[in-house]
Amino acid sequence: MSPSERAGRPLVFGEVLFDCFEDGARVLGGAPFNVAWHLRGFGLDPLLVSRVGDDALGREVRAAMADWGLDEAGLQTDPARPTGTVQVRLGAGGQPSFDIVAGVAWDHVDADAAVAAARAADPALLYHGTLAARAPRSAAALAALRGLGAPAFVDVNLRPPWWREETVRGLLDGARWAKLNDDELAALEGGRAAADAERLRARHGLEAVILTRGARGAAVAHAGGLTEAAPEPVRDVADTVGAGDAFAAVAILGLLRGWGWETALARAVAFAADICRVRGAVVRDRGLYARWLRRWEEAGA
Report CA dihedral (161, 167, 169, 175) to the nearest 10 degrees.
-120
The model's pTM is 0.94
In tens, the pLDDT along 37-49 reads 999 999 999 999 9
Instruction: Judge whether residue 214 has pLDDT over 90.
Output: no
Q: What is the mean pLDDT of residues 243-254?
A: 95
Report pLDDT for 5.
44
Q: How far apart are CA 69 and CA 252, in angstroms?
A: 19
CA–CA distance, 152 with 175 (Å, rounded to integer): 5
Residue 1 pLDDT grade (very low, low, confident, very high; cuts 50, 70, 90): very low
What is residue 280's predicted lDDT score, i.e. its pLDDT? 65
Percent of the chain past pLDDT 90, that is, above it, reads 80
The span from the CA of 274 to the CA of 86, in Å, is 25
pLDDT the model gives residue 76? 98
How many helices (H) and strands (E) the chain has is answered by: 10, 13
Query: Average pLDDT, stretch 182-206?
Result: 96
CA dist., res. 208 & res. 106, Å (int): 28
Q: Over the Cα atoms of the chain, what is R_g?
A: 18
Average pLDDT of the chain? 92
Q: Which residue has the higher pLDDT, 111 or 233?
A: 111
Neighbouring-strand partners of residue 229: 218
The 3-class SS string of 51-89 reads EEECCHHHHHHHHHHHHHCCECCCEEEECCCCCEEEEEE
Q: Give me the helices (H) in the chain, please.
A: 31-41, 56-68, 111-121, 136-146, 165-172, 182-189, 194-204, 243-257, 261-275, 286-298
Looking at residue 273, the DSSP 8-state letter turns out to be H
> Residue 111: how many CB atoms within 10 A of its CB?
17
What angle (nearest 5°) sits at the alpha carbon of residue 213, between those of residues 207 and 216? 125
Buried b (16+ CB within 10 A) or exposed e, 217-255: bbbbbbeeeebbbeebebeeeeeebbbbbbbbbbbbbbb
Q: Which range, of 54-68, 158-172, 230-244, 255-269, averages the lowest pLDDT?
A: 230-244
Per-residue pLDDT tens over the stretch 119-163 = 999 999 999 999 999 999 999 999 999 999 999 999 999 999 999
Q: Determine contact, residues 268/254, Cβ cutoff 8 Å.
A: yes
Average pLDDT over residues 14-34: 90
SS3 125: strand
pLDDT at 26 over 60: yes
Please tell us whether the domain made up of 8-298 is placed in CATH 3.40.50.300.
no
Instruction: Report the pLDDT value the prediction gives residue 300, as an integer from 0 to 100.
Output: 80
The C-alpha atoms of residue 126 and residue 196 are separated, in whole angstroms, by 25
Give the mean model confidence (pLDDT) for residues 160-175: 96
Distance separating alpha carbons of residues 260 and 113, to the nearest angstrom: 35
Most distant CA pair in the chain, distance: 51
